[in-house]
Structure 1
Amino acid sequence: METDTAVVTERRPRGRPLSFDRETVLERAMHVFWRQGYETTSISDLTTAMGITAPSLYAAFGDKEGLYREAVQRYRKGPGGYNECMMSDPHDTRAVVRELLVSAANNMSCPETPSGCMIVMSGVNCSPESADIQLLLTECRTGFETDLTARIQHGIDNGDVPASVSPGALAKFYSAVLCGMSMQARDGATHDALIAICDAAMAAWPARP
C-alpha cells in the first residue's frame, strides 16, 4: 500500500494495470461511510461510489476496515477538523469554545457533505464484531475531550475561566452538545437551528467572579 501519493497502480495477473487517484476515491469512501455508517456500508456500496473494482479496493486499502480507518483520519484532518481552533485565541477560552461549536455547526449542515458528524454517526449500532471500530471512534471522542479539557485548564491558569470550574466536566458538557448537534443535523436541523443550539450552550458558560 502506498500512502501520500497521488496515484495508486495495481497490476493484476491479467489485463492492463489499473490506475486511479487515491485521494479522490478515499474522499468518496469517506462520504459513503459518513452517510451510511460502517456496518451498513457494503463493499459493493464502496466500489460503486469510488468507481473502482473490489480487487483494487483491497490492493489499495487492505480491506473495508482499513479503508474506514483512513476515511476517519481524512475526516479529522478535513471537514471534521473544527477542533483545530483550540488555541486560536489563547486569552479567551469562551470565544474559542464558541468558535468550535460554530465550526461544527457549519460542517454538520453543509449541503455538499452528509449531515452530522462522521465520528458520531458512522459507528452507531455497531455489533460486537465491529468492536475495533467502536474503540477507534471512542478514542477519537476521548481525544477530543482531553484536548478540550486541557484548553479549559489553560483558561483557568490564565484567569479567564473561574478557578471553581471542573475542566473535565465542562469539556464533557460541550462534547455532549456536539454529539446532540450531530443527531439534530441528521434529523434535518438547519444551520440556523444548530447555531441557536450553540448560543444556548454558550449561555451556560460559567461567568467570571
Structure 2
Amino acid sequence: MEVFWAKGYEAAQLNDLTAAIGITPPSFYAAFGSKESAFREAVRLYVATAGSGPLRALDTSETAQQAIGAMLLASIDVALKAPQSNGCLLILGVMNCQPETGPLYDLLKGLRKETVERVHARLERGVADGDLPRTADIPTLADYYGAVMQAISMQARDGATRPELEALVRPSLAALPQTPAADAAASPN
C-alpha cells in the first residue's frame, strides 16, 4: 500500500513492490496475480485503514458543521502522513490514466464519488437535524467539499505545511449556510 501511495500505480515498479514486502517476483505473482490486483488490494487496505479517518470523522461528529470541519482536518492528517509524496491514494494513485490503467482510474473515481455521496448524506442529515437551513444547496456543497478534499491532497503533494492546509478549513466552513437560529445566536445584541 505504501509503495502505491508514495509512487502511484504507474510509477510503482515490481522491484519496488517486492522489496517493500520482502518477496521475490514469482512469490509476488503467486500472492497477487498481477500488479493491478495488488493495487486493488492496496486500495481496499487504504480505505479500511489509513484513509478511513475523514469519513469516520464525518459520521461521528454531532453537527453538520463539526462533521465537515473534522472531515477536512482528518483529510489533512491523511495527506500529510502519506509516504514520500504526500496526498491521498484515492486522488493521486492513478494520475496519467493510460488506456491500460482506465479500470483502476474508474475504481478510484468511484471511491471518490462514494465520498461525495457520504458528504451529501451527512449534509442532508444536517438539514433534518436543523444544523443547516432547508434552503441549503446540498448537491453543490457535497461536490464542493469533495473538491476541497482533493485540493488538500494536491496542496500537500506540492509541499504545503499543516498550518497552510489548516488555513483552508475556516473559509471552507464559511460556505455552509447558517440556520436563522444560528445567525441570531452569532449576532451581537
TM over 0.5, shorter chain: yes
Does the 8 A contact of 2:156 with 2:165 survive in 1? yes
Superposed displacement of residue 114, structure 1: 4.6
Question: Cα distance 1:84–1:113, how it changes in 2: closer, same or farther (>3 A)?
Answer: farther
CA RMSD across the alignment? 1.4
1:105 aligned residue = 76
1:88 aligned residue = 60
> How many residues in Structure 1 have an aligned counterpart in Structure 2?
179
Whole-Å separation in 2 of the counterparts to 1:203 and 1:169: 14
* Structure 1 unaligned blocks of 5 or more: 1-29
* Structure 2 unaligned blocks of 5 or more: 181-189
Whole-Å separation in 1 of the counterparts to 2:90 and 2:81: 16
Superposed displacement of residue 46, structure 1: 1.1
Aligned match for 2:131, one of 146, 160, 166? 160
3-state SS of paired residue (2:45):
helix
2:47 aligned residue = 76
Whole-Å separation in 2 of the counterparts to 1:170 and 1:203: 11
Query: Matches of residues 60-209 of structure 1 in structure 2 within 5 Å?
Result: 60-82=31-53, 83-90=55-62, 92-110=63-81, 114-209=85-180
Q: Which amino acid aligns with 1:187?
A: D
Q: Which amino acid aligns with 1:32?
A: V
3-state SS of paired residue (1:109):
helix
4+ residue runs of structure 1 moved beyond 4 angstroms?
111-114
Superposed displacement of residue 48, structure 1: 2.0
Query: Looking at both structures, which has the greater relative contact order when contacts are Cα pairs under 8 Å and sequence separation is at least 6?
Result: 2
Query: Could you say which structure has the higher helix fraction?
Result: 2
3-state SS of paired residue (2:81):
coil
Q: Which amino acid aligns with 2:120?
A: T
Q: TM-score if structure 1 supplies the norm length? A: 0.81
Deviations along 1:175-207, one digit per CA (max 9) or x if unpaired, are 000101100000000111111111221122212
Whole-Å separation in 2 of the counterparts to 1:182 and 1:111: 10
Whole-Å separation in 2 of the counterparts to 1:204 and 1:147: 18
Superposed displacement of residue 49, structure 1: 2.1
